[in-house]
Amino acid sequence: MAINVRAKYLNKTEEMSFIDRLYLPAIVKGMFITMKHFLFTKAYTVEYPEERKPIAPRFRGRHVMKRDEMGRERCTACYCCQYSCPAECINIEAAEVTGDIRNNHPEDKYARVFEIELLRCIFCGFCQEACPKAAIYLEEFYELADYDDRSKYLLTKKEMMETEGKPVKYRV
């Protein structure tokens, strides 16, 4: 039905006047609009990647794992984030803290393995919300695209971990 109506409309031809057939007025009008934008309005585009748009304070980018004020890993492998993750993309393996890694962890348990499958993550931030230890945050880093290797999307603990209070050095 709708298609028929549109077809009818398209088939309609109008008789063009002499001025129309000259084309000049239309060209002048078009050039005027172009020049107006070109000379008198500010450009909206950003020269990415040299220039970047500011992001919102609660932007949810890639995950970062935090350390506490003494530089120890906050995460204690409680699995709350894994439990709350709707995409089921977090994989944790807990282990006992023993020997020389003691200084690195405030509790008896730590995450020996902590992985996030970034391709499945929906960046909902539930993990951040669930974490009782304020260990995992979704921060401002968003340049996640890569072109050669999908295994890079398995984010490991090492890649997420903040180093001595400084933000993580991002890969990619």
Partner 1 sequence: MAKITIDDKVIEYSGNPNLIELAKENGIDIPHFCYHPALTISGNCRMCLVEVGTLCKNQQTGEYEKDDKGNIKVNFMPKPQPGCYQQVSDGMVIRTNSERIIEARKGVLEFTLANHPLDCPVCDQAGECVLQDYSFQYGFSRSQFIEKKRTYKKNEISPVLTQEMNRCIHCDRCARFTTEIAGESSFARTWRGNKMELSVLPGGTITHNYQGNMADICPVGALTITDFRFKSRVWFLNYGVTLCTSCGKGCSVMTSHKKGKVFRLKPVYNEKVNTYWMCDHGRLRYRFLNESRKSGHSAGGKKANFQSALSLAAEILKASKNIGVIASAKESLETCMVLSRFFREVAPTAHVDYRVDDAQVRDDRSLRPGELLRAKDPYPNSFGAREAGLLPGQGGATAIDILGAPEKFDAVVLFIDDHIIEAGDRLGNMSKAKNLIVLSPFESSLDSTAAVSFATRAYSETSGTYINIDGIRQKYCPVLPPLGDARDSWDILNQLSGLMGKSFGLDSIGKIRSHFKLGD
Residue 122 · residue 86 · CB < 8 Å: yes
Q: Give the 3-state secondary structure of residue 137.
A: strand
Q: What is the CA radius of gyration of the chain?
A: 28
Of the pair 135, 160, the CB lying nearest partner 1 is at: 135
User: Phi then psi for 38, rounded to 5 degrees?
Assistant: -65, -40
Determine the length of the chain.
172
> Binding pattern to ligand SF4, positions 91-130, x when CB under 6 A?
-x------------------x----x----xxxxxxx--x
Binding segment (CB under 8 A) for partner 1, from list 45-53, 107-115, 137-145, 157-165: 107-115
Residue 150: CB atoms within 10 A of its CB come to 9
- Asked whether position 78 contacts partner 1 by CB under 8 A, the answer is yes
For ligand SF4, the binding residues in 13-72 under the rule CB under 6 A are: none
Residue 101 binds which of ligand SF4, partner 1, none (CB < 5-8 A, kind-dependent): none
End-to-end CA distance of the chain: 52
- Taking the complex as a whole, how short is the minimal distance between the CB of residue 13 and ligand SF4, in angstroms? 55
User: Which residues here bind partner 1, judged by CB under 8 A?
Assistant: 76-80, 83, 94-96, 107-109, 132-133
